[in-house]
Amino acid sequence: MTATWDPTAAGVLRLPSGRLVRGRALRRPVPSGPVPEFAVHLLGRPPAAVPWEARWLRWPDFRLPADRAAARAVLGEAWVRAAAERVEVACGGGRGRTGTALACLAVLDGVPPAEAVAYVRRHYDARAVETPWQQRYVLRFADEGRRRVP
């Protein structure tokens, strides 16, 4: 087991289970200190290469993931790995898409979907999750995971 994030570091969200996930803006330099072991990059086009393991989730600014099944799989992987690794979720500005993804991780961690956006705004960034459709996406995230594909 490796060390996780410093819970007092900027951008680090503590989920109810104790898992720590760092959210950040890719437009800013990587913060000093430990680097992620796994990252999820939420961008409309492929991100720049990083020296740690990362997944690109095509997610245009102010919108929703292009492939919701892929989003669910990648965010599920991030949640599992956050139990023992330094996981980072990042988009261009670090608020809308990142906040939405963090709220989905909170849902996976047991936060009721109707409370997940408020949880992330309280513990990560007061302006996280920027659009009404991002809020609806979080509300429906748990249900989408239960749907069966015909």
Q: Convert the pLDDT of each residue in 49-108 to its tens digit.
A: 999 999 999 999 999 999 999 999 999 999 999 999 999 999 999 999 999 999 999 999
The residues pairing with 55 across neighbouring beta strands, listed in sequence order, are 40
Handedness of CA 131, 117, 87, 71 (dihedral sign): negative
Task: For strands 20-25 and 12-14, give the pairing.
Answer: antiparallel
CB atoms within 10 A of CB 117: 23
pLDDT tens digits for range 8-45: 999 999 999 999 999 999 999 999 999 999 999 999 99
Q: Where are the domains of the chain?
A: 16-145
User: Confidence class of residue 142 from pLDDT cuts 50, 70 and 90?
Assistant: confident
Q: Any idea which architecture 16-145 has in CATH? A: Alpha-Beta Complex (3.90)
